[in-house]
Structure 1
């Protein structure tokens, strides 16, 4: 995929985000476009695009070209190439996406919430289990972090699949700051981590919090989350966001207690067609 095609996709995506209030392409798709373009099947015009990576569809239409059948045409091309079996996220639960999904036999199968809190809101004390300390990531920690990630997200469809090359892609992004990747250690053994992300001067993110099964039930997840929030507050962000599965009641309970709230408009929906 050449630079002109990437600019075309970025231009449609920017117009869509400005109109809809949510980006139509997620981080994993952008990483693939920039680093592994051969993994992406694409249908791109000036009016819109459809991108497919491993059965996952991203589709957007420029606002000025909507209600003209562009989305249906792009989706039909993608479905024909993949024997009709695809998954797709609707960011911000767009009503147009719901209509398109129903028209083409997609079912609503998953919801992801965005939760938010003020960056300056106090988090409370970081209470650590005995013998555990939290420090910033060092390159020598990579193997341990990948182990903890695999163990703590073994059933998660995206995060649990993070490989060494995936980790290298993310740490190679301009936003990566090793001081914001906090690891909980007992001796030389990692028990958990909190990877924070700073999108801008004003916006931070609880990017990933992982706790090894052996350390669950010790309050380490909450301690790591508080430590990461303190780090982002020190960077001066005014808002912190996070993403959580809508049916993960235990995680939502923790985030509620830390001052995060969810607005129904901040819901991402996955549709699937088999």
Structure 2
């Protein structure tokens, strides 16, 4: 069987459902979802940033057998791509063709031809594909997990600090400012816009009761936050994107502390408060993602009983100039 790869600037809702169904079927085989959250959100809702879609189709029947998402908006680090190949069509060169097509498309906006590839789950086939095309491992993102049956200490907040739930429509601007300050060195997170926040608030999993804000009692200034998330408690359907069959699990989705509040133990206290919230919902496990290079965060989470579950890998291709 042969295939063709075409570039599309936009996908209609039916095409999006087909892509997400392909990703779901691949995740059932690989035991890791092949697309990151921001890619799924871009597929489902669009976004302010443009993206390219590379579609590999069966040349005979037109069925989708592979997909790659290409984002060329990061002028500092270069373009990034994520891809998935139908498990029934693997080892036929589809992944290689998708990456080579992504390199060509990325080169149109960056003369240096930079491209980063994300491989979720650190599978040997992904490593072999990346290495064969001259990519090297550059960044590791760990997924950590812990049992919520294990003891979760009571959080201790500094005097004059209280915790409350996020108020949609009222806290949006203040939270975006706090998020930008907390993640000033991490533009992927700190650069969130109001539209990106609204897209997540529109998701079925969003629950403001699990979006915890720490504020100063004296003036209401936001000092930190712990945004929790629950996976797997909704019916499974292709349009859910990352949804697939598993028991519900809680997530430390985003945890941030204002630079003005460092050194007060606020990160630890907010983590514990969020874990207790997830346990009160009847969940028995919690997960999170953390960059291996973030020593402070790794120490915090490992010290709270989390352990490594899986690894996502970012590959980059050496360039000249």
- TM-score normalised to the size of structure 2? 0.82
Distance 2:106 2:37 in 1: 23
Distance 1:119 1:223 in 2: 16
Distance 1:145 1:200 in 2: 26
Counterpart in the other structure of 1:194:
226
Matched, 1:2 2:12: yes
Counterpart in the other structure of 2:240:
none
Alpha-carbon shift at residue 180 of structure 1 (Å)? 0.4
Distance 2:172 2:21 in 1: 35
Worse-matched range after superposition: 4-13 or 144-153: 4-13
Counterpart in the other structure of 2:22:
12
Counterpart in the other structure of 1:81:
105
- Give the 5 Å matches for 1:40-55: 40-44=51-55, 45=57, 46-54=64-72, 55=79
Distance 2:97 2:120 in 1: 20
Counterpart in the other structure of 1:91:
120
> Which stretches in structure 1 are left out of the alignment for 5+ residues?
none
Residue in structure 1 matching 2:314, options 265, 270, 274: 270
Distance 2:129 2:119 in 1: 11
CA contact (8 A) 1:192 1:221 kept: yes
Distance 1:5 1:79 in 2: 23
Alpha-carbon shift at residue 47 of structure 1 (Å)? 1.2
CA contact (8 A) 1:32 1:39 kept: no
1:138 match: secondary structure: coil
- Give the 5 Å matches for 1:1-274: 1-36=11-46, 39-44=50-55, 45=57, 46-54=64-72, 55-83=79-107, 84-139=113-168, 140-187=170-217, 188-201=220-233, 202-263=248-309, 266-273=310-317, 274=319
> Which stretches in structure 2 are left out of the alignment for 5+ residues?
1-10, 58-63, 73-78, 108-112, 234-247
Aligned pair count reads: 272
Backbone CA RMSD of aligned residues? 1.4
CA contact (8 A) 1:184 1:190 kept: yes
Alpha-carbon shift at residue 121 of structure 1 (Å)? 2.2
Worse-matched range after superposition: 48-57 or 60-69: 48-57
- TM-score normalised to the size of structure 1? 0.95
Alpha-carbon shift at residue 119 of structure 1 (Å)? 2.2
Greater helix content: 1
2:184 match: secondary structure: coil
Alpha-carbon shift at residue 4 of structure 1 (Å)? 2.5
Distance 1:230 1:141 in 2: 23
- Structure 1 stretches of 4+ with a deviation exceeding 3 A read none
2:171 match: secondary structure: helix
